[in-house]
Amino acid sequence: KLADLLANPEYRPSAIGVLDEEVAESLVEKLQYQQPELPVYAPQSRKLSALPWTRLLLDLLALAEDPVRFELIARLARNALVQDFALTVGLVDDWPGVLIRLDQLESEHLLADWAELRDIVQYETARTAPPPALAELADWLERLAVWRRRLRQTPDLLRNAFEILAEIGRNNSYAELDLELSAVELAQLQRLVVEAANAARERPQMAKTLLTDECNHTEISIRADVEAAIDLVGFLELPWRPDRELVVAGFNEENFHYRRASDALLPERTRELLGMTTDKMRYAADVFRLKALLESRRLTILYGKASLNGDVLRPGRLLMQCGPALLPDRIRLLFSGALDESPVQPVRLA
């Protein structure tokens, strides 16, 4: 039904509201198969701490700690942003050779921290004509030492770490990055750095902990930059869309959440006495939301008859919110074909 609806060039909504993740996944899969020319974008949130600039900033903050573990140095050496920076500023020309040499030193000397690594590299480079990879490793470690001194010689740890991050960014080709996602990530990261620095003004030692916690609990998502893309959004987001034409998919009773507030420990009556959210309150909110959409939009509502697992689905009860005179026709409309017992057509396998 949805594919047929979107095939009409005169009816092209910019958003489809969905009530369940299973519905969203199924829609994306089917529409990509039936209408590959029509991009459908389902926003997928990503945790900030899993993104490249944030991971690098947290590693730079760890560079100011004692002791600096060898694992941190090895992780920085394998970071694509750090490698690109070192190539751009002329610190390292042969990263594969540097990484091989780093691994050799670790296996030969069972290195545990940075101090041991620097002592060994200084001893090795003091010999006559050290290999080029070893000389470049020494130059790179010296740059890390400069960054470490900058981080440790000032109480404003977070801002200094972000300045080093900006220095890496200014000397980078961004070959491996999604630039749009990076822009959103860096804007969010900068905001969190300022907030954590202000919050830790009285206790600077808590700055990194605060920032790490915020990064672990912050998620971001971006919209696909395609002119004709159709957004898949949650039902709660639809009233905030400026679009006149909207579609709601998966409008089934099983996908609504107004029957999930109460439980055996806190039944409906107890929640009401305690002033907590009740099933009635959630239901009333959904009624209000649907009414607002119907009054202000041209709304197309789709509901399924069965889930992906074959379970029978019912139309949402909100669709039966009408006067007594209209109710019989509304029920016939919603449940027409419910007793259709026509056999399932066989699937032909290629």
Helix (H, G, I), strand (E, B) or coil at 306: strand
Residue 21 pLDDT exceeds 60: yes
Spatial CA neighbour of 255 closest among 240, 235, 275: 235
Please state, in angstroms and rounded to a whole number, the distance separating the CA atoms of residues 29 and 36: 10
Predicted pLDDT of residue 53: 92
Mean pLDDT of the chain: 79
Helix (H, G, I), strand (E, B) or coil at 94: coil
Residue type for position 135 = A
Specify the DSSP element, H or E, that contains 16: strand 15-18
Mean local confidence (pLDDT), 67-71:
89
Spatial CA neighbour of 254 closest among 328, 305, 322: 305
Residue 48 pLDDT exceeds 60: yes
Please state, in angstroms and rounded to a whole number, the distance separating the CA atoms of residues 22 and 83: 40
Residue 25, judged by CB atoms within 10 A of its CB (0-12, 13-18, 19+), counts as middle
Per-residue burial over 291-300, b if 16 or more Cβ lie within 10 Å, else e, is: eebeeebebb
- As a three-state string, the secondary structure of 225-286 is CCCCCEEEEEHHHHHHCCCCEEEEECCEHHHCCCCCCCCCCCCHHHHHHCCCCCHHHHHHHH
Predicted pLDDT of residue 99: 92
Most confident of 26-30, 168-172, 201-205: 168-172
**pLDDT digit string, tens, across residues 222-239:** 655 555 667 777 787 888
Report percent pLDDT > 70 for the chain: 77
- Structural contact between residues 167 and 197, judged by C-beta atoms closer than 8 angstroms: no
Mean local confidence (pLDDT), 13-19:
72
CA atoms within 13 A on the CB side of 280: 8
List Cβ neighbours of 336 (8 Å cut-off, separation of 6 or more): none
Full-prediction pTM beyond 0.75? no
Predicted pLDDT of residue 338: 47
Residue 197 pLDDT exceeds 70: yes
